[in-house]
Amino acid sequence: MADLQTAGAPERQAMPLTGASLPRQAPLLAVLIAGGLAALLALLGVIGWVAAIFVGWLLLMVGLPLWSRAVEGGRRSVDRGVTLLVWSAFALAMVPLVSLVWTVVSKGFGILSSQFFNNSMRGVLGEGGGIYHAIMGTLIITALATVISVPIGVLTAVYLVEYGKGSTLARVITFLVDVMTGIPSIVAGLFAYALFALFFGPGVRMGVGGAVALSVLMVPIVVRAAEEMLKLVPDELREASYALGVPKWRTITKVVLPTAVAGIVTGVTLAVARVAGETAPLLIIAGLTTGTNFNPFSDRMATLPVFIFYSITEPGLHADAMADYAWGAALVLVAIVMLLNIVARVVGGFFAPKTGR
Amino acid sequence: MTVTAPPVVDAEESTGRVGDAVFAGISRGSAILIMLALAGVAVFLLQQGLPALGNHGEAAYGKDNIWAFVWPLLFGTLLASLIAMIVAAPLAIGVALIISHYAPRPVAKVLGWLIDLLAAIPSVVYGLWGIQFLALNMVPVYKWLEDHAGWIPFFEGPVPNSGRTMFTAGLVLAVMALPIITAICREVFAQTPKMHQEAALALGATRWEMIRLAVFPYARSGMVSAVLLGLGRALGETMAVALVLAPTLIVSFNLITAEQSSSTIAANIALNFGNASGSKIDTLIFSGLVLFVITFAVNFLGRSIAARGRKG
């Protein structure tokens, strides 16, 4: 055996299929060494912890590519450098996002209590109040907006997919829906204000105005989602229905819409989650009040986002207590929105066609 | 050829026809309603905003004419959004690459999910975090910049102890725009034909070379439109900026100061609308109209680039 190898192999050994490469654990090793050095510097008190992280990162960014260049050559070294850079960008992007979630949970959790959920802020200065009025306002206004937007949105999608395919009107509508997705939320609020001021005079504030403003933001999302889902319904189903002599409108209501309903529900839920957190339009048209108002057709109505906003910008004498309320309300709002999102994705994921990542 | 008698039209079929007409009418009607709503937005804004063209003095918040009022806000809007894009775009592309190409598949799936959830966090919460957490923690950085780079006009200072500066506002916008840009980029990256990528790898390209040669050329228009759509969101974003910045009418490149800092159109409307009355409301609505036009232009550009990318 040994003879064979020495006799037949030299040429092969001179031309290996793969070049020299760093060991598999090289990146991990580099991270450990750079991190260790930086931590050592920080422990010795030479530099602060923030600076230490930066120094460690710099060591890693210079060290690993240099090592790789020495062993593997320029191209592999660039590849390793970029890999590090991409992961650093990822880590850097995660810092604010994680910190945001952590801050909301840690600062908001302390104030949650049955009193916080069951009281309004009427007559409350400082501690002892709650966000019942704001939760109710958010629920009422969002529900109204949903009631307005869903029929309009779904029917428009039906028109685009089933009736207007290729017509000029359909193209114009598609374009306008695109435009509507880009309307700044505060502009939607100004629109609702201008519309209601026309009928009720300037200075008007009412919950239904907020619902109209939110609908302007919500309709395009619903149309987009419903359109995509209706397009996924196979034509065979429609044709089978026509072949049985079923009129078009019954085909749509009995065959097409039920087939697409899961996806449409997902889209609507996502749209609800999106507008439930909108602040700017409600700030303008729904305003804020300290008491609970169940009637969206008269007077100001408190909502969670607006409550958070005013608790910070105009806290009055009890700034600390109001900041606590704001964080508590923020946690509740984020929880509601997240819950809606998760429900939507579970529903959608369950029925969605399989795709790659 | 024998002609069979026409079938008797029964009640079922006739209701079918009527139902069809009605249903088609309703769905076309709601499509037209959307058209009317958008036209309504434009008309109402014009009707309420255009009278403000002649506003000056008190009605234009102490400015000589309406443009002198809008310009500083417009400048601030663009500046904050520009900072946001400079910070967010590279990071978002990095995160998107991690999800589409670098991370192992199960991890990538969870990450994609998390990013989508973060995109849904209400902007007022970002603002709350910006003012009560980020701003305070950025103060040492600003102080350092003021001491070491104060000769650059951007970092002149003086640094406020609250940390509520243009730079903070830009950072908050960046954090908000990040999930959106990431989501679109990730989708575009994932759509790169597998064959192109495998061909590049088979020719001996490293992973980065494969991304540079196969993924980026394919995704270029998608990436540009993602950044533009993120910019559209940042331009129109109200609450995050309204919480961080005070409403001022100053044109200033100074990024790390409070008193001499610019503000943005949307934030200015939000902060002043409650106390405004009469012609001041018109002035604010006019500034909203300007914002609408600019956001529309940016979004339109973003979508047309995306559409061209799909065709090409």
pTM of the model: 0.84
CA dist B89 to B109, B225, B234, B235, B286, Å? 21, 11, 12, 15, 31
Contact A100 B125 (CB under 8 A): yes
DSSP A104-118: HHHHHHTT-SHHHHH
Q: For A346, name the nearest residue in chain B, comparing CA atoms only.
A: B113
CB-closest option in A159, A250, A283 to B28: A159
Does B307 have pLDDT greater than 80? no
Report yes or no on B239 lying in a domain: yes
Structure tokens at A215: 């609908």
List the CATH number of the domain containing B305: 1.10.3720.10
Q: Give tens-digit pLDDT for B259-292.
A: 677 788 888 888 888 777 778 888 888 888 888 8
Q: Is residue B37 part of a domain?
A: no
Query: Taking CB atoms and an 8 Å limit, are B299 and A179 in contact across chains?
Result: yes
Residue B241 sits in which domain range?
A: 55-311
Classify residue B237: in a domain, yes or no: yes
Over the stretch A265-312, which tens digit does the pLDDT of each residue have?
888 888 888 888 888 888 888 878 877 888 778 778 888 999 998 888
Q: What is the DSSP string of A176-201?
A: HHHHHHT--HHHHHHHHHHHHHHHH-
For residue B87, what pLDDT is reported?
93
Q: Which of B244, B249, B197 is nearest to B219 (CA)?
A: B197
Best to test chain B binding among A173, A241, A357 (most B CBs inside 10 Å): A357
SS3 B63: strand
CB contact under 8 Å between B232 and A156, yes or no, is: no
Whether B80 is in a domain gets the answer yes
* Cα end-to-end distance, chain A, whole Å: 50
> Is the residue at B3 inside a domain?
no
Q: Alpha-carbon distance A244 to A246, whole Å?
A: 6
> How far is residue B249 CA from its own chain's centroid?
23
Structural domain count of chain B: 1
Tell me: the pLDDT tens digits for B195-212? 989 999 999 888 899 999
Å between A309 CA and nearest CA of chain B: 7
Instruction: Indicate the Cα dihedral angle A96, B295, A182, A172, nearest 10°.
Output: -160
- Does residue B59 fall inside a structural domain? yes
Q: Hey, what domains does chain A have and what are their CATH numbers?
A: 22-107 (no CATH), 117-351 (1.10.3720.10)
Q: What is the pLDDT of residues A50-61, one digit of tens each?
A: 778 888 888 888
Tally of CB atoms within 10 A around B123: 25
Cβ B102 vs Cβ A87: under 8 Å? yes
* CA A273 distance to own-chain centroid: 9
Residues 217-276 of A with CB under 8 A from B: 219, 223, 246-250, 252-253, 270, 273-274, 276
b/e sequence B31-42, b meaning 16+ C-beta within 10 Å: beebeebbeebb
Return the closest-CA partner of residue B283 out of B6, B135, B69, B18: B69
Beta carbons within 10 angstroms of residue A310's beta carbon: 18
> Would B6 be classed as within a structural domain?
no
Is the preceding omega at residue B140 within 30 degrees of 0, hence cis? no
A291 half-sphere exposure, CB direction, 13 A CA radius:
6
* Interchain contact A345–B (C-beta under 8 A): yes
In a domain, B39, yes or no: no
pLDDT tens, A304-334? 999 998 888 887 778 888 888 889 999 999 9
